Structure 1
Amino acid sequence: MNRIARLFLALALAATGSAAFAVTSVKASVNGMVCAFCAQGIEKRLSKLPAAQAVHVDLKQKIVAVEAKEGQTLDLKVITAEITDAGYDVTKLETVEQSVADIKAGGKARK
């Protein structure tokens, strides 16, 4: 999203007092992922969560991003448990106002 679009979005949110247009995602830093099979396993597990709309795993950056469906909330404990149960370590977990597509694009820009 370019700066002008972000500005209009911010103004619209301020005017309505609502975050109806905001996309919420959970971004996790994960240790132990070393191959595409690792990424695929995590992606498959997290995609099954009822509130998950999109999932992205970046092996190089060691990041897992899960985007919430509109009007839904992602449970940080459930996401952590799913990743941990799959055999990986969550070292950092944060909620961000970005879509998985935005997070994915940001990772590609760094490469």
Structure 2
Amino acid sequence: MTKQLLIALALAATGSASFAATTVKATVNGMVCAFCAQGIEKRLSKLPATQAVYVDLKKKIVAVEAKEGQTLDPKVITAEITDAGYDVTKLETVEQSVADIKAGTKAKK
């Protein structure tokens, strides 16, 4: 076996595949309580391409991770958040999983 194949097999075995999750990360104004966060999380979780959702009230962040091989439409995410009664002030697509974003925000606390 080639060295590259061995590395790929080792990464697959440890669960650290080279797949970088595509996540839409939004900064949202108007979220003030756990009920707000729960409502947004429920709405976004129902989207067919959604794998995971994370809401951080203190940092005003909503992160939506796409299922592998799926694409999230930032316009749909913005519409869902806006329809729920909140304002999206910033939207970006990042190559991070929701778990990574969650870990990063908790580490900064």
Q: What TM-score do the two structures reach when normalised by structure 1?
A: 0.82
- Structure with max Cα Rg: 2
User: CA–CA distance in 2 between the matches of 1:26 and 1:76?
Assistant: 7
User: CA–CA distance in 2 between the matches of 1:21 and 1:55?
Assistant: 18
Aligned to 1:28: 26
Aligned to 2:97: 99
Give deviations 1:20-46, integer Å, cap 9, x for gaps.
712100000000000000000000000
Aligned residues: 95
- What percentage of aligned pairs have identical amino acids? 86
User: CA–CA distance in 2 between the matches of 1:99 and 1:87?
Assistant: 26
1:33 aligned partner, one-letter code: M
User: CA–CA distance in 1 between the matches of 2:98 and 2:19?
Assistant: 15
- Which segments of structure 1 move beyond 6 Å, counting only runs of 4 or more? none
Aligned to 2:41: 43
Aligned to 2:67: 69
1:26 aligned partner, one-letter code: V
Give 1:48 deviation, angstroms: 0.1
RMSD of the TM alignment (CA)?
Answer: 1.6
Aligned to 1:108: 106
Q: What TM-score do the two structures reach when normalised by structure 2?
A: 0.84
User: CA–CA distance in 2 between the matches of 1:22 and 1:100?
Assistant: 11
Question: 1:102 aligns to what SS in structure 2?
Answer: helix
User: CA–CA distance in 2 between the matches of 1:28 and 1:59?
Assistant: 12
Question: 2:25 aligns to what SS in structure 1?
Answer: strand
